[in-house]
Amino acid sequence: MQSNHDQNEPQGNETDCLLSEKMIIPRIIPIARSTWWKGIQAGKFPKPVKVGRRSFWRERDIKALLENL
């Protein structure tokens, strides 16, 4: 039997806040914007969630990235 929940969706008390690029670069991750986007293309950094034409990142994805650096 399959669950109706996606494995990537938050469960329990886990929040799924979205962070803008300006909130991440350079405040949380001190690198250049071009380095950030190159890292996304290379698969080193999490892919964004698109909301309209804007890009956001899940807070949990950024936390996981920081834990694995």
The domain ranges of the chain are 18-67
Q: Could you list the pLDDT tens digit for every one of the 69 residues in the chain? A: 444 444 455 555 556 899 999 999 999 999 999 999 999 999 999 999 999 999 999 999 999 999 998
Q: What is the pLDDT of residue 60?
A: 96
pTM of the model: 0.75
- pLDDT single digits (tens) 27-40: 999 999 999 999 99
Q: Is the dihedral of CA 54, 21, 19, 64 positive or negative?
A: positive
Cβ atoms of residues 16 and 10 within 8 Å: yes
CA distance readout (Å), 58 to 18, 50, 62: 5, 11, 7
Residue 52: per-residue pLDDT: 96
